[in-house]
Structure 1
Amino acid sequence: MGRGRQKAKQTKVARELKYFSPATNYHALEQELRGSGHTDVATEDRYSAHDEDYDNTYSAWNDDER
């Protein structure tokens, strides 16, 4: 594909994206932007078990450097 055809195709795609207006669900957008106000406890618990291991590893590495 030549440069002219490639540029024309990119321009066409860009124009379609610029002027395309999908049906927006404003209610869902409002809920997402408002936020839920709670933290994900499962994520915190999943990583908290490894915190001590990393702290000990860092301490051992840091002590070796002195």
Structure 2
Amino acid sequence: MGTKIRVDQVNDDELDDWTDQMNDEDDLNRSRVKYNSKRRRQIEDLMEDRRLMRQIANVYDDLEHLRDL
């Protein structure tokens, strides 16, 4: 962790710089959250598609097995 600095010992100009930096970090974190939720949704959709394809394949396998009887 960084060094602790007393806020009353910091110039006003430096406080403004800190505020700008924190706002930039907040914007970056918000975009990451948006990206992560989109990416998570894509992954969920892909997994659902795979599950459905597996179910369809299993049904066809069962039908072929029943035809052989």
Give your verdict on TM over 0.5.
Answer: no
TM-score (norm 1): 0.34
Structure label with greater radius of gyration: 2
Q: Which has the higher helix share?
A: 2
